[in-house]
Amino acid sequence: MSETTPGRDRWRWLRREAIDLGDLLVQIIAVVVGILLALLINNWVMQRQQQATVDEAMRAIRAELTLNRSDLRTYAKHMFDMAAAMQNAPANKNQPPKACYQWDGWDGIGGLAPIDAAYQTSIATQALANMPFEQAQLVAQVYGWQHYVLKGIDLDASLLMQQPHSLEFCAGVVEEIGRNAVRLDERYAKLIGPDPNAPSAPGTRATSTTRNPP
């Protein structure tokens, strides 16, 4: 029986074969290309998912603003009708200043409550962050104007109830509140198009004191 070198069989698995650099390069390129393709596919899928979220958010926002517009149109008409009723009420002729709610024809300036649930959801789901900048800016501006008008109504309510005012002043403020509602409707049009049924605002009163949306 032939002799063998001690440990030869044990370490035979350590023998190295010649490395083909061409094959190695091909394998490296294949791995890199596979990784890049996986990244591209993943990025494409993410972009499609983000766009689907943006599209769904915009559908919800437009539907929400359409509902708000309907309430806004009703509210604006109510303000214009109330201002006219106060001006034309025979009982109000030649009366001294009084709290606005004491004038005949007064019917309150509350009742406008536009919603912003779709807008808040688009922020929470980051749909707004994934929109093109100009589109996201326009959405934010429209809802900012909506908040502004509601805040203005609250301030006007405090103003009208604090002390006596002339009939002309009270009717003018009510009319201007309705006019601001029409202006908000015009802001909505930037996202959902114009409303052919929007009430037309009466002529501007010199005594109007409320603020216009910026």
Flag whether pLDDT at 204 surpasses 70: no
Flag whether pLDDT at 211 surpasses 60: no
Q: Is residue 40 part of a domain?
A: no
Contact present, 199 and 126 (Cβ < 8 Å): no
**Could you report the per-residue pLDDT of 32-77, keeping only the tens digit for each?**
888 888 888 877 777 777 788 889 999 999 999 999 999 999 999 9
Provide the Cα torsion 97, 100, 104, 105; round to 10°: 140
Q: Is residue 204 part of a domain?
A: no
Q: Return the higher-pLDDT residue of 127 and 198.
A: 127
Q: Is residue 153 part of a domain?
A: yes
Which of 34-38, 95-99, 149-153, 196-200 shows the lowest mean pLDDT across its residues? 196-200
Q: Is residue 161 part of a domain?
A: yes
Contact present, 160 and 177 (Cβ < 8 Å): no
Copy the structure tokens of residue 110: 């509350």
Q: Is residue 29 part of a domain?
A: no
DSSP state of 67: H
Q: How many CB atoms lie within 10 A of CB 30?
A: 10
Q: Is residue 88 part of a domain?
A: yes
Range(s) of the domain holding residue 75: 55-192
Q: Is residue 212 part of a domain?
A: no
Flag whether pLDDT at 178 surpasses 80: yes
Q: Is residue 71 part of a domain?
A: yes
Q: How many domains does the chain have?
A: 1
Report CA-CA distances (Å) from 62 to 58, 181, 182: 6, 18, 18
CA distance 147 to 152: 9
